[in-house]
Structure 1
């Protein structure tokens, strides 16, 4: 009976008190944006993810909150679209491959360039260091320094190490995002 009550309760929450929030996931190519989105939406991790051309949109249901997640391509030709898809969202998620330190200067430049846009002022930023299951990877503190996250002002900025493959720390990511639902 308790299971039935929970199902009815969850349905009532979704029906009458549902909150939808917009989240944009960006980062350089191969950072793991699509893999992360596939895993948090209940799918399985696959090694042979096809690079995103343009963007994907996926809805992720968590209780009474629906996360409408935009997954934008990370190749250079798509980066000029990032600002447009970040306008007016509840949160921006910037994903970095922390197992490939050669790409960090480029990721830092792209992130800081994006964060300077006045249209994105005040939007919370979550930086995720993906692939933390790999042995040769940066720590969260090293990522914060490499990306110069402490210099980004005028918004909440947080940083987590995750592994989309091992589903490591994904609950913390979802909890962080849901704090901004309805804002």
Structure 2
């Protein structure tokens, strides 16, 4: 009988305390946005992801928080729509391939250009250096320097090293996002 009451309690709690957050996941093509979202939503990592054309949306349920995650294409022709999907988001997640050092200057430029938009001021930013399982990847301190993250003002900025493939540090990512729901 205790299980029955627990289910009723959880259901009532979800009615009154459930939180839905809009999360926008952006980054250059091949950074691992779709793979990360697939793993976060309970799926398996696959190496044969096709590039996102436009956007994908998935809901990730963690406790009483539902993360509505928008995964936007990273090819140059889709970057113009990043601002539209970042407006009103609870958090912006910027994903970079930490092993693609040559792409970091472009990633830095795209990120800083986006964050100059006044309508996005104050939205927390989580930068994820994906592919930490690869030997030639940059660590968090190097990513912070390469992406000039210390220069970003008027918002909370955090940076983590992750691997969607190995599921490294994904609990920290989810906890960071859920903490934004509590504010």
Same fold by TM-score greater than 0.5: yes
Consecutive unaligned residues in structure 1, runs of 5 or more: none
RMSD of aligned alpha carbons: 1.4
* Equivalent residue, structure 2, for 1:118: 118
**CA deviation map 1:87-145 (0-9, x unaligned):** 01100000000011000000000000000000100000000000001111101000000
**CA deviation map 1:23-48 (0-9, x unaligned):** 00000000000000000000000000
* Equivalent residue, structure 2, for 1:18: 18
* Equivalent residue, structure 1, for 2:145: 145
SS at match of 1:92: strand
User: Aligned residues, how many?
Assistant: 183
* Equivalent residue, structure 1, for 2:60: 60
CA distance in structure 2 between the partners assigned to 1:2 and 1:97 by the alignment:
47
SS at match of 1:150: helix
| Superposition TM-score, scaled by structure 1 size | 0.95
Consecutive unaligned residues in structure 2, runs of 5 or more: none
Per the TM alignment, residue 178 of structure 1 is displaced from its structure 2 partner at its CA by 0.8
Moved more, 173-182 or 70-79: 173-182
| Superposition TM-score, scaled by structure 2 size | 0.95
Per the TM alignment, residue 5 of structure 1 is displaced from its structure 2 partner at its CA by 5.6
CA distance in structure 1 between the partners assigned to 2:128 and 2:88 by the alignment:
21
CA distance in structure 2 between the partners assigned to 1:101 and 1:168 by the alignment:
20
* Equivalent residue, structure 2, for 1:70: 70
CA distance in structure 2 between the partners assigned to 1:5 and 1:135 by the alignment:
50
